[in-house]
């Protein structure tokens, strides 16, 4: 049984003490297949008998819809952008993530603080300020990084029609048009992810591979890790 660990500090109302659940994070840029892999992994874990819950950005009942609404106007200040996402995570941490972990569930996070920090740095926020802002987050047990270079990312995003204002960094004038801005902004995000992956020892997977191959790698690593740990909650 492990103790709950926070990145650098906890909110006054967050709990201390034992925790039998596991927090597994899947990170990566848009278009890397992150959400698909998270869903496939969730289904597999449930078949194995684990209790699983998932979470992701803007799913907070408090501010999730507010973030979506604010981004429609293309006028959200870069620091407000960071603060809103921190509020979203704090709310989900209190009402979703921590209760599930304390009950022994596996929590699958489709993106976590690493996306928020990479985006914040790309928008000119100070790295130290960002780490302090998100310091209340629980330390994950496993972090997977689905890495996809810009040259492979662009065709996927164009095909899916997802080259939008915010994911292209248009608020920061990264380029003269949305394509140039997308390439420059996503390149900066990838550089930040690469740096964090090396520093924090993420499990980095080549997102160019077939989705089934990636999923087998995820299942093998997660399965080996869970077998080495105290039993988590079994699905009812």
CATH number at 180 reads 3.40.50.300
Instruction: Determine how many CB atoms are found less than 10 A away from the CB of residue 117.
Output: 20
Which CB contacts under 8 angstroms, 24+ apart, belong to 194-200? Answer: 194/147, 196/114, 196/117, 196/118, 197/145, 197/147, 200/114, 200/143
In a domain, 5, yes or no: no
Decide if 27 contacts 144 (C-beta within 8 A): yes
Collapsing DSSP states into helix, strand and coil, what is residue 195? Answer: helix
Q: Please state, in angstroms and as integers, the Cα–Cα distance from residue 62 to each residue in 67, 131, 161, 196, following that order.
A: 10, 22, 29, 29
State the pLDDT at residue 176.
83
The rounded percent of the chain whose pLDDT value lies above 70 is 97
The Cα 209–Cα 205 span in angstroms is: 9
In a domain, 32, yes or no: yes
In a domain, 160, yes or no: yes
* Residue 28 DSSP label: -
In a domain, 119, yes or no: yes
Q: Please state, in angstroms and as integers, the Cα–Cα distance from residue 114 to each residue in 51, 61, 80, 158, 169, following that order.
A: 25, 22, 17, 24, 17
- Residue numbers of the chain with a pLDDT score lower than 50: none
State the pLDDT at residue 231.
66
State the pLDDT at residue 163.
85
State the pLDDT at residue 94.
96
In a domain, 236, yes or no: no
State the pLDDT at residue 74.
75
The Cα 71–Cα 90 span in angstroms is: 20
State the pLDDT at residue 75.
77
Domain residue limits at 129:
20-224
State the pLDDT at residue 72.
87
The Cα 1–Cα 172 span in angstroms is: 45
In a domain, 4, yes or no: no
The total domain count for the chain is: 1
State the pLDDT at residue 162.
75
Structure token digits, residue 75: 């006028």
In a domain, 95, yes or no: yes
Please, which residues have CB within 8 angstroms of residue 98's CB and are 6 or more apart in sequence?
4, 14, 15, 138
In a domain, 229, yes or no: no
């Amino acid at each position: 049984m492990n103790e709950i660990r926070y990145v650098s500090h906890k909110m006054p109302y967050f709990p201390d003490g034992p925790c039998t659940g596991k927090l597994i994070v899947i990170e990566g840029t848009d278009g890397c297949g992150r959400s698909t892999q998270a869903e496939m992994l969730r289904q597999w874990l449930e078949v194995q008998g684990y209790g699983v819950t998932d979470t992701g950005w803007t799913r907070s009942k408090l501010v999730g819809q507010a973030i979506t609404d604010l981004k429609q106007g293309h006028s959200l200040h870069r620091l407000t952008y960071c603060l809103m996402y921190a509020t979203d995570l704090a709310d989900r941490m209190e009402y979703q993530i921590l209760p599930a972990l304390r009950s022994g569930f596996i929590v699958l996070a489709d993106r976590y603080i690493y996306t928020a920090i990479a985006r914040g740095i790309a928008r000119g926020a100070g790295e130290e300020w960002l780490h302090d802002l998100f310091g209340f987050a629980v330390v994950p047990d496993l972090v997977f990084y689905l890495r996809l270079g810009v040259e492979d990312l662009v065709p996927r995003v164009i095909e899916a029609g997802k080259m939008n204002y915010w994911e292209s960094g248009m608020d920061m004038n990264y380029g003269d048009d949305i394509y140039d801005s997308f390439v420059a902004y996503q390149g900066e995000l990838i550089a930040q992810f690469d740096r964090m992956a090396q520093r924090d020892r993420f499990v980095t997977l080549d997102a160019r591979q077939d989705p089934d191959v990636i999923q087998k790698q995820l299942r093998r690593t997660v399965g080996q890790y869970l077998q080495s740990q105290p039993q988590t909650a079994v699905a009812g």
